[in-house]
Structure 1
Amino acid sequence: MMVPLALLALAAVAAGVAPRVLTRSSWPEREPVLALWVWQCVVAAVLLCCALAMALSAASAWQVVRNHVFAPAPPGVVEAYALSAHGPWSGALAVLLACGGAWTGAMLLREVVEARSRRRRRRAELRGRAPQLPGEGPSLEKPLVVLEDDRPDAWWLPDTPPRLVITTGALHRLKGRQLDAVLEHEQGHARARHDWLLHCSSALATGFPRVPVFAGFRDQVRQLVEMAADDVASRRYGRLTIALALVELNEDRGAFGPGSHPLAQVSQRVHRLLSAAPRLSFGRRVRMTALASLVPLLPLLVTFVPALTVLD
């Protein structure tokens, strides 16, 4: 019964150490897409540790579960795990982990339901602000929706298909290629399906607010998806263009004033674009991507160590 405990210890280490390392590092700002991949691999490893620990604990507590879990295993593998040598606490652990899994599923379902509700409300609001004109199709069926509003704003509406919404105030403020850069930024969100990352990170952090890796995942994803979309736009239109567009859209909201502000992240994004920090080398990016991809394999390796010992 040492394997489930080893898996839970591995999950605790990853959940506590990884957020500190990633949030204190400077390279995620230079490589936001890679940072998003690393965060996803760490979170996947933590969840996989809990799932495998639950399966082995249930197999230790109940014979019927053991028969299903080890059905394809060769003779002698079950004895290597010493499942029957442990007390009834394995059943309690399995139930506890199963409740955690059910709670995770409930949080994800709630996030999806609330997201759909917000989307319906937003569509109803936009339908009133962008009514269908005589002789044209429904305005919300177009890939680009223009709203009559003096406040400069632009956002991406996740839908099927995704739509870009921009106000007339933004059209008046943005100059030349700045409008194209903003549209490319929002299209970058749509192509990468950043909404799913935001939903998953929010659900995990809401369901388990005391787990550092989930809280860090949510906070970092919110920043990294914006940086990643900035990079998509800057590769085509230049860093200065998208930085000036961000200033034009947000300077009237106090995002660049003194003190803390809810939009302080915008000023950090502008500073990042203007500082033009070099990307990591191609070789280092490949090595970090490969190393991050191996992280979810660690729980599998820990799980199969007793079986591999017997087969050898």
Structure 2
Amino acid sequence: MIVAAVLFAYAVLLGTLAPRLLGGVRWMERAPCLGIVVWQVLGVSALASAGMAGLALTVPTVRVGADLAQLLQACVMALRAQYASPGGAAAGAAGAVLALAVLGRTAWCAGAVVLHIRRERHEHREVLDRVGRHDHVRGVVVLDHDEPAAYCLPGRHRRTVITTGALRTLDDEQLDAVLAHERAHQAERHDAVLAWAQTLALAFPRVPLFRTAEAEITRLVEMRADDVAAEHSGRLTTAAALLAVAGGRTPAVGLAAGGSTAARRVRRLIEPHRPLSRVRIAAGSLTAVVALALPVLVVGGPAAAATQLNYCPDGTPAAQISTMR
């Protein structure tokens, strides 16, 4: 019971406090990759903690240091002892419902998100194949439209799309920056990162962590692609290119160089570049490792320590079995 309570409390704290502490912090803009990892790890940690809390209630962890036969005997006796009482049976049932609800809801929403994205991409690719023309030199699909816009359609049959308006507006260096931005999205599979964030936000919309993480990751993946483009073409050139295509309308299923975050990203590129210090990078990385490892340690630590103790010799009655939840 103690293990389950600690895990559940940890999941609640992450789900409520992490967005308040980390939402919109400036250091993530200086290291978008690290920021993306931190938000992903926090989401996985909160989800895993809630699921493992349910499992800890459902299946008692038996402390035994004997051979396999005695371990199996102890497990059976511990389960029988727990479910023999109304309180133990109720706790076990509640734990099973919690674990199955977390796992089932996540799996269902993941499937829904993936199917929706695949269907939308397939339909949009068909439209592009009908109305666009392939520029094999640049490796893009060109759409006849006066509005400057550029976006990529990620996935197995990826496309990089640019309008004739953008081709007229951008010079060669700016065009290279925009294309580098879109190819960074594809190479680093930002679509998969966003799909997972959307899954958690859809599955548990009332949890502040998942809502904030989706918004922050959406912003950070664009900044990461900006950084790749800036390494290729320079920060000021990339900023000018983003400004030129910022107002272009793009499909929701695509990842665009412009969009609602373009103004803040342009200011970020114009401002003096201040990379995150090694100390802060190490601190952020340590935070991610601790957040991911803590639920495992809460569950596995006491059980691992208890394997050195023999709590179930032959003939020990069920009432004397020491169990942990």
Q: TM-score range by the shorter chain?
A: 0.7 to 0.9
**1:88 equivalent in alignment to 2:84:** no
Aligned-pair distance for 1:251? 5.2
The 1:77/1:213 distance shift into structure 2, 3 A limit, reads farther
Equivalent residues of 1:177, 1:241 under 8 A apart = yes
| SS of corresponding position for 2:88 | coil
Q: Match of 2:225?
A: 229
Counterpart residue number, 2:118:
116
Unaligned runs of at least 5 residues, structure 2: 250-257, 309-325
Distance in 1 between residues matched to 2:196 and 2:226, nearest whole Å: 22
Question: C-alpha displacement at 1:21, in angstroms?
Answer: 1.3
Is 241-250 or 142-151 further displaced after alignment?
142-151
The aligned residue for residue 158 of structure 2 is 162
Check the 8 A contact 2:147/2:166 in 1, yes or no. Answer: yes
The 1:246–1:82 alpha-carbon spacing in structure 2 relative to 1, beyond 3 Å, is farther
Q: 1:80 to 1:290 in 2, by over 3 A?
A: farther
C-alpha contact (below 8 Å) 2:59/2:79 kept by paired residues: no
Contact 1:54/1:94 (CA < 8 Å) preserved in 2?
yes
1:187-223: per-residue Cα shift (whole Å, max 9, x none)?
1101110101111111211121110111011111110
Q: Radius of gyration: which is bigger?
A: 2
Give the C-alpha shift of residue 143 in structure 1.
4.1
Check whether the contact 2:152–2:160 (CA below 8 A) recurs between aligned residues: yes
Partners of 1:83 and 1:274 lie apart in 2 by: 67
Q: Deviation digits for residues 215-261 of structure 1, max 9, x if unmatched?
A: 011111110100010011111211101110011112578xxxxxxxx
- The alignment-based identity, stated in percent, is 35
Deviation at 1:24, TM superposition (A): 4.5
Query: Per the alignment, do residues 25 and 81 of structure 1 end up closer, same or farther by CA in structure 2, a change over 3 Å counting?
Result: farther
Q: Does 2:269 correspond to 1:268?
A: no
* TM-score, structure 1 as length reference: 0.83
Q: Secondary structure at the residue paired with 2:162?
A: strand
Equivalent residue, structure 1, for 2:3: 3
Shift of residue 88, structure 1, vs aligned partner: 2.2
Question: More helix per residue: 1 or 2?
Answer: 1
The answer on whether the counterparts of 1:208 and 1:214 sit within 8 Å (CA) in structure 2 is: yes
How many residues are matched? 289
Q: Give the superposition deviation at 1:96.
A: 3.0
Contact kept, 8 Å, 2:149 with 2:248, in 1: the verdict is no
Say yes or no: does 1:173 pair with 2:169. Answer: yes
Displacement of 1:276 in angstroms is: 2.6
Q: How does 1:203-218 map to 2 (within 5 A)?
A: 203-218=199-214
Report the Cα offset of residue 263 of structure 1: 4.6
The match for 1:293 is: 289
Q: Distance in 2 between matches of 1:16 and 1:73?
A: 44
